[in-house]
Structure formats: C-alpha cells, structure tokens
Amino acid sequence: MTSRRLLILAALAAVTVILAVVFWRAYSTPPLQLQGQAEARQYMVSSKVPGRLAEVNVRRGDPVTAGDQMFRIDSPELQAKLAQIEALDTISRSLAQAVEGGTREEKIAAARSEYEKAQAAETLAKTTYERIRALAEEGIVARQRLDETYTLWQVAEKTRVTAGEILRLAEAGPRVETREASRAGEEATTSLREEVAELLEDTVARAHHGGVVSNVLLNPGELVPQGFPVVMITDLSDAWALFNVREDLLGLVPEGAEFDLEIPALNQRARFRVSHVAVMGDFATWRATVPGRGFDMRTFEVEMHPLAPVPGLRAGMSVLLELRP
C-alpha cells in the first residue's frame, strides 16, 4: 500500500508540474524578436580628374590595401595643356637668353620676336578660354577645365606683358629689371607645369583605405565625370548590427547594454554592445498607438558593435535579437 501511494503521489506531482508549465506558457508574455542586418564601413574611390576610364585594376571581391592602384583615367586634354606649357616655357627661356647674351642689336631683335610670339600665344589662349566658357555655360565641359584654360590665358597674358617689358628694356639697354622680368616668366611657367603635373598624377586613383572591393561602377572605355565614385571598398573589420526599434521598446536596449545576437547565415551567436541610438527621418517612421492614447511612436536606429571580431560576418546578413518586455 505504501508503494502504491507513493506512485499515486508521484503521478499527481507530475501532472501538477505539467499543468503548471502549460499554464505558464499560455499566460506568460512571449519574447519579442527583432530582425536587423549587418552593416560595414564603405569607402568610395572617386575620380578627381574627368576623362575616359582607361583601365580598372581590381575586381569585386579583391582584397586591397591603402595605396593600391584602383583605376586610371585617360585625359588627352591634360597632355595638350602640358604641351602648351612647354611652349610657354620655351618662350620664357628664349627671353632669358635674349637678356643675358648677344649684342645689343641681337637682344632687341630677339626680344621683339619673343614679344610677338607672346602676343600670338595670348590671343590663342584667350580664344580657347572663350570657347571653353561657352561650352561650360551649356554644361558640356567641367568647371575645372574652364578654370584651367583661364589660368593658361592669364599666364599667356602675363608672359606677353613680360615680353613687352623685356623689349622695352632691351631697347633701353640691359638693366637689373630685365633679368628679374625674365626670371618671373620662368617662375610662372614652372608653377603652371607643376600644377598640370599634379593633375596628371591624379589620373591614377589609389585606395585610401584597406578592405575588400565590393563594387566597380564603371567599365574601361566609359566616361568618368569629376568626383564620380568608380570603386567601392568595404572594410569588413569595421562591421556592426543595425536595428529599427520603436520608441516604446528603447528602454529594453539602452546604450552600453550587451546582447547575444543570432546570425543565421553563420549559424552562431555573438556578443554585441549597443553603441549608438538615433532617431530616423520623419518619413515612414511613425506608428499609430492604441486609439485614445493621443500620440504616435517614432522609430529609432540602434547600432550594436561586436565585442570581438566575428569571422565571416558580411554586410547584409540578418541578425536576430530577442527582447523580454
């Protein structure tokens, strides 16, 4: 009888526990699951100089480091400008030689010849600038090219003025001012040559940050506008999870709190910490509350950064968060 009573009591206890669990699950509040996605820092490698894309040195998925060549721009206009500068430099050097050597009659003849050359160069530079300005007003060429042609015109004008002063001084005889004027012309062409050389260096675009190439937006042969991003680099080491959370749930995810997030794509969980909370824009971020409460709730972005690097984590992967109100 005693063993029979014990069995009955054990059965009753088991039934009681089962009923308690059933009632607890039926009436307890289920955990709230939020779905977000992984984000990663992206960098754009843009073109500083407009032109035609000559070559692309990377493909999607290629790892790159800072300083690696990404692509190269072909710009015949810059090559033409460099040739013009070389011509102006020849004029300046010829003027300097006319000042420093030769008889007085030879100096005067050489100075007059260089002055006429400078006049012709100025006329050509001014005509080129007026044509480019008309094209720029119609939006056909970039503003940078207009500025470059204006600079060439100004240099040509100053060279003509310098050549005129040299001619006047040559006719009056060699003086200290003549040598200074010739040096000024050489300095002007040298400065302009350095400017164009820097622009030619900018035709080769290099990565300013390491990462993985996530996208290449243009193909070789296509035109590249000034400032257009050609290659996108993603830094997978700087990744985070992003959730859109209603403001009535913000109390469950305070800044500094830590959570174990599930990453279905990797079939693992990782520890994350809330690093930033910010309100989203006004568009599509309002949600009506229960009628009669008199206000709507906004949506906030909640960023969570992993406490340790998560191998295999990629931008766009889903991340799951369970919250218990």
Give Rg (Cα) of the chain: 37
Instruction: Supply angle C-alpha 139, 143, 145, rounded to 5.
Output: 110
For residue 246, what are its two tokens? 């209603």
How many angstroms separate the CA atoms of 273 and 308, rounded?
A: 10
Instruction: Supply angle C-alpha 73, 134, 227, rounded to 5.
Output: 30
* Euclidean distance between the first and the last CA atom of the chain, given in angstroms as a whole number: 49
For residue 45, the one-letter residue type is: V
How many angstroms separate the CA atoms of 154 and 191, rounded?
A: 13
| Ordered structural domains, the chain, with CATH | 29-40+237-323 (2.40.30.170), 43-71+204-232 (2.40.50.100), 76-201 (1.20.120)
pLDDT tens over the chain, length 325 residues: 566 666 776 777 777 777 666 655 655 566 788 899 999 999 999 988 888 898 999 999 999 999 999 999 887 777 677 677 777 777 767 666 665 655 467 777 777 888 888 888 888 888 888 887 877 777 777 777 777 788 888 888 888 888 888 777 767 665 565 566 666 666 777 777 777 777 777 788 899 999 999 999 999 988 888 888 999 999 988 999 999 988 888 889 999 999 999 999 999 999 999 999 988 766 545 454 444 454 567 889 999 999 998 988 988 899 999 887 6
Q: Which helix (H) or strand (E) holds 193?
A: helix 176-201
Q: Residue 22: its pLDDT value, please?
A: 63
Q: Provide the whole-model pTM.
A: 0.56
Taking the alpha carbons of 19, 23, 25, 26 in that order, is the dihedral positive or negative?
Answer: positive
Q: Which helix (H) or strand (E) holds 157?
A: helix 143-172
The contacts of residue 112 (CB under 8 Å, 6+ apart) are 167
- Phi, psi for residue 56 in degrees, rounded to 5: -120, 125
